[in-house]
Amino acid sequence: MAKRAIQVDDFLNFEVYSDPQFSPDGSKYAYVSTTINENKDYESNLFIQNMDEADARQWTFGHNKNSSPRFSPDNKSVVFQSNRSGMPQLWLLPLDGGEAKQLTTFKNGAVDPVWSKDGKFIIFTALLEEGDDVLDQKELSKEERQKENEETNKKPLVVKKLNYKSDSLGFLDDKKSQIILYDVEKENFIQLTNGDYHYAYQDISPNGTTVLFSGNISENAEYELKSDIYALDIASREITRLTDGKGSYYSAVFSPSGNKIAYLGHKQEYLNATLTKLYIYDLETKEHTCLSTEWDFPIGDLIAGDTRLGSSENGPVWSNDENRLFFIGSIYGATNLYEVSLQGELKELYNVDSHVFGFSYNRLKDSFIIGVSTPTNPCNFYLLDANSQVKQLTDANRKFLNEVEIGTPERISFKAKDGWDVHGWILRPYDYKEGAKYPLILEIHGGPHVMYGQTFFHEMQLLAAKGYVVLYINPRGSHGYGQTYVNACRGDYGGGDYQDLMSAVDYVLETYEFIDKERLGVTGGSYGGFMTNWIVGHTNRFKAAVTQRSISNWLSFYGVSDIGYFFNKWQHGFDLLDDPKALWDISPLKYASNVDTPLLILHSEQDYRCPIEQGEQLYVTLKHLKKDVEFVRFPGANHELSRSGKPELRIERLNHICSWFEKYL
């Protein structure tokens, strides 16, 4: 029986896995499964699977968000994070049965629990105000919190800092993330950090005397877009900066002996287009060594998508013998699991042209649980043993995949007009027939410094199901193709990147006879929205366009975006105060009179990354010019609408995109 085409609301049926965690003895692993319930709310629950059993068992239940499962070193319990009481708090679950015990009742919640190596402490992070007492924390009831919010909303917001808002957090207040110890035996709390800084916990030494954290605790922190690794002596509270104060450093972990620290970062040589590198710091010699000097790919998972939910380990992770490190790297549209020796010898442990989104290491057997997504399967977990043998452990989304036709993207590579090599994919329409002609939609990713890749992408599959050829590429500025490539769009927005996209369209029109050159569409979000706006102002070859969470005016972006005050300088080389004319010259709004392509503008009202005034300016200008334009505003949504926004609004967004292209293509 033929499978049906994928539908707009099919993402409601996905089960999305994340955060695999081996138990200390390697006999089992835990993970997080996120779904959307009948109330169209996200919920996440914990599962456990014994390595000698075929199926996983569900640990937590209900319409809550449970995450971050961490086994105790003695393998007797699991600490995890849950919002079942109202705010995210820490809970302890015995492995031999019984109910979970609530450990924290912090007013603003407690998150990201980890165990000390001896199991005596649980370390976590909590938002605290100056003067808060960790021994006297009380979680507010739903009614109390509602009353507090109502009182806050009656007061004016007094702004004194440069970075006073965040797309993910909204308007910022005086609360700061502090590192807290929970003494498991004494059942009390010890606050390790304080002051007007955010502290991001990294690791605790094997002997339990030192905590690593990242952040910026200098007096000029709000003006310095840097992050360092610090060591905090638990007994004395003395803080020592370990990195050079000249870049962005994070993901620091002690070696098993505690003699070395591995960490990630870079010296911002190319600002936010700099490849992430891997470093070793020797605590005895005080020497820093970069292991990745000869690599031309970034460490970490940089694949763009709309199906991933929840965080997972990307590395670095030490081997048990302390001679190797493991991590995920992004290269040529895929993410792989790598191993590197302390001498810099690099080895691919898992490379099947897919999206490795996370892993967990079994120190006893030198094996891994790896989380993998492919263009035709949202996610699954696999066992990768010491002999490089791979065994599938889960079969997520089996029912959905058995019912729905999922297309397999075809790789393409071509030369841009100036000779640069560019890589991408096309996806043929559902029920494709030889000899028929199909309209094409060009998709453009955001960032710009991410990459499209070998992962499941609901929106791409949906457009193919609607009868379109979907074209998506990694133009210069994308990660995965080396430092020169990812840096190439800086100072050249609308230049080489625009030519790459137009060359991609030229290439597929010449190569594939089934594409109707008279029915071309284009869409993209964030940087992809900027590029969509730029395209319709510079060519009329597209018959319809949808711009999402876009940028239309770099002049106003400088003052309204949560990153505008530094992003212009970092990406263009100048800001509003340096050269307003140059910013206007690369603003799509300048070219509004050239736009003849019917344009749909989609924008979230709570978007602080690319604020809605960017969409408003573009809409009013085009409408004033009597152009064919519509504007859709999404209330209560932010920059993440397409990925983790309210499910009802995600459905509305996709419906508007499909309807616009159906109308004009």
Alpha-carbon 138 to chain mean position: 32
Count, residues in the chain: 665
Residue 170: per-residue pLDDT: 87
Per-state percent for the chain, helix, strand, coil, to nearest 5:
20, 35, 45
Q: Say yes or no to pLDDT of 172 above 90.
A: no
> What mean pLDDT do residues 288-292 have?
97
Cα–Cα distance, 99 to 215 (Å, whole number): 37
Cα–Cα distance, 129 to 649 (Å, whole number): 34
Q: Say yes or no to pLDDT of 20 above 90.
A: yes
Candidates 526, 550, 552, 604; catalytic one = 526
The H or E element that residue 1 is part of is none
Q: Identify the structural domains of the chain with CATH numbers, from first to last.
A: 64-194 (2.130.10.10), 423-552+587-664 (3.40.50.1820)
The H or E element that residue 657 is part of is helix 647-664
Structure confidence by residue, pLDDT tens digits, 434-457 = 999 999 999 999 999 999 999 999
Q: Say yes or no to pLDDT of 1 above 80.
A: no
| pLDDT interval class at 221 (50, 70, 90) | confident
> What mean pLDDT do residues 262-282 have?
97
The amino acid at residue 308 is R
| pLDDT interval class at 224 (50, 70, 90) | confident
CB-based contacts of 360: which residues, under 8 Å, 6+ apart?
20, 21, 22, 29, 313, 368, 369
Based on the residue annotation, tell me whether 526 is a catalytic residue of this protein: yes
Structure confidence by residue, pLDDT tens digits, 309-346 = 999 999 999 999 999 999 999 999 999 999 999 999 99
Are 453 and 355 a contacting pair, CB within 8 Å? yes
Percent over 90 (pLDDT), the chain = 92
Q: Please give the DSSP secondary-structure letter assigned to residue 291.
A: T
Residue 223: per-residue pLDDT: 87
The DSSP bridge partners found for residue 4 are 404
**333, 319, 328, 390: which is closest to 359 by C-alpha?**
328
**19, 28, 183: which is closest to 115 by C-alpha?**
183
CB-based contacts of 245: which residues, under 8 Å, 6+ apart?
218, 226, 228
The torsion region of residue 145 among left (phi > 0), alpha (psi -120 to 50) and beta comes to alpha
CB-based contacts of 187: which residues, under 8 Å, 6+ apart?
none
Candidates 77, 205, 639, 642; catalytic one = 639
Cα–Cα distance, 645 to 642 (Å, whole number): 6
Cα–Cα distance, 47 to 35 (Å, whole number): 13
The DSSP bridge partners found for residue 42 are 36
Structure confidence by residue, pLDDT tens digits, 71-118 = 999 999 999 999 999 999 999 999 988 889 999 999 999 999 999 999
Cα–Cα distance, 104 to 72 (Å, whole number): 17
Structure confidence by residue, pLDDT tens digits, 496-554 = 999 999 999 999 999 999 999 999 999 999 999 999 999 999 999 999 999 999 999 99
Q: Say yes or no to pLDDT of 220 above 90.
A: no
Structure confidence by residue, pLDDT tens digits, 245-259 = 999 999 999 999 999
Pairing of strands 66-71, 77-82: antiparallel
Half-sphere exposure of 81 (CA within 13 A, CB side): 22
Residue 242: per-residue pLDDT: 98
CA distances from 636 to 425, 639, 640 (A): 34, 11, 11
> What mean pLDDT do residues 120-136 have?
94
CB-based contacts of 34: which residues, under 8 Å, 6+ apart?
15, 16, 17, 18, 42, 43, 44, 309, 310
Alpha-carbon 183 to chain mean position: 32
